[in-house]
């Protein structure tokens, strides 16, 4: 793994937890803390975070609800649910919906949580790289389809019988490339939605 600085955001309505988290991990990661979900959303919109941790039980919104809120705009961020309660229904629900990468109990074990954050960062980088490569594939398919369309147009205007056959074949190839592009694009979007 590279020497990239891992940016972590921790949302919790209890200030002592935020102070403890920052004190424990500020030497390892670029740590940002927040005690209000709307502020956390604004922070996510303003800068890239690799891992977001959220307390499950907060007054205005649960951690699961917070992850549901940020998932459409930030599908690649690794989400870690933190709770001091045996809130298994919420945890199972969040994991089943693919909103949470990991679940951590309070009080956390520092070394275990450090490893969870590092693994979450690796997952985030993998998602970002996959999305980038997916977009490159889409661009290549678009280029191939345009080339096939252009060649088919040239073949149609040549007026020869063979050219008509080639034009038909190129038209079929163009259609197949465009269909594959759409299939790949749907897969890419679904993959991003499923990211935990």
Q: Which of 42, 45, 70 is nearest to 53 (CA)?
A: 70
Q: Look at residue 112 and tell me if it is in a domain.
A: yes
pLDDT category of residue 158 using cuts at 50, 70 and 90:
low
Domain that residue 121 falls in: 7-128
Residue 151 has pLDDT above 60, yes or no: yes
pLDDT category of residue 90 using cuts at 50, 70 and 90:
low
Q: Look at residue 99 and tell me if it is in a domain.
A: yes
Residue 54 has pLDDT above 90, yes or no: yes
pLDDT category of residue 12 using cuts at 50, 70 and 90:
very high
Calculate mean pLDDT across residues 74-92: 80
- Distances from the Cα of 118 to the Cα of 25, 52, 113, 124, 157, angstroms: 11, 12, 9, 10, 59
Query: Distance between CA atoms of 116 and 25, rounded to whole angstroms?
Result: 12
Residue 1 has pLDDT above 70, yes or no: no
Instruction: Please report the pLDDT score of residue 36 as a whole number.
Output: 95
pLDDT tens for residues 178-194? 887 888 778 777 766 66
pLDDT category of residue 196 using cuts at 50, 70 and 90:
very low
Q: How far is CA 73 from the centre of its chain?
A: 9
Q: Are residues 29 and 71 in the same domain?
A: yes
Q: Which comes out higher in pLDDT, residue 5 or 137?
A: 5
Domain-ending residue, one of 106, 128, 150:
128
Q: Are residues 120 and 138 in the same domain?
A: no
Q: Look at residue 35 and tell me if it is in a domain.
A: yes
Q: Are residues 46 and 118 in the same domain?
A: yes
Q: Look at residue 2 and tell me if it is in a domain.
A: no
Q: Which comes out higher in pLDDT, residue 159 or 44?
A: 44
Q: Are residues 43 and 86 in the same domain?
A: yes
Residue 117 has pLDDT above 90, yes or no: yes
């Amino acid at each position: 793994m590279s020497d990239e600085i891992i940016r972590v955001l921790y949302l919790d309505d209890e200030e002592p937890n935020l102070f403890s988290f920052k004190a424990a991990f500020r030497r390892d990661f670029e740590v940002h803390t927040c005690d209000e979900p709307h502020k956390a959303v604004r922070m996510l919109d303003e800068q890239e975070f690799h891992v977001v941790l959220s307390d499950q039980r907060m007054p205005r919104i649960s951690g699961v609800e917070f992850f549901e809120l940020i998932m459409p705009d930030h599908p690649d961020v690794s989400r870690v649910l933190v709770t001091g309660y045996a809130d298994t229904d919420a945890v199972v629900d969040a994991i089943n919906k693919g909103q949470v990468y990991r679940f951590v109990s309070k009080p956390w074990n520092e070394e275990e949580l450090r490893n969870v954050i590092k693994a979450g960062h690796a997952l985030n980088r993998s998602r970002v790289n996959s999305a980038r490569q997916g977009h490159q594939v889409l661009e290549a398919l678009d280029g191939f389809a345009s080339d096939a369309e252009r060649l088919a147009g040239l073949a149609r205007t040549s007026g020869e019988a063979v050219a008509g056959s080639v034009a038909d074949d190129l038209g079929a190839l163009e259609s197949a490339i465009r269909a594959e592009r759409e299939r790949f694009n749907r897969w890419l979007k679904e993959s991003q939605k499923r990211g935990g």
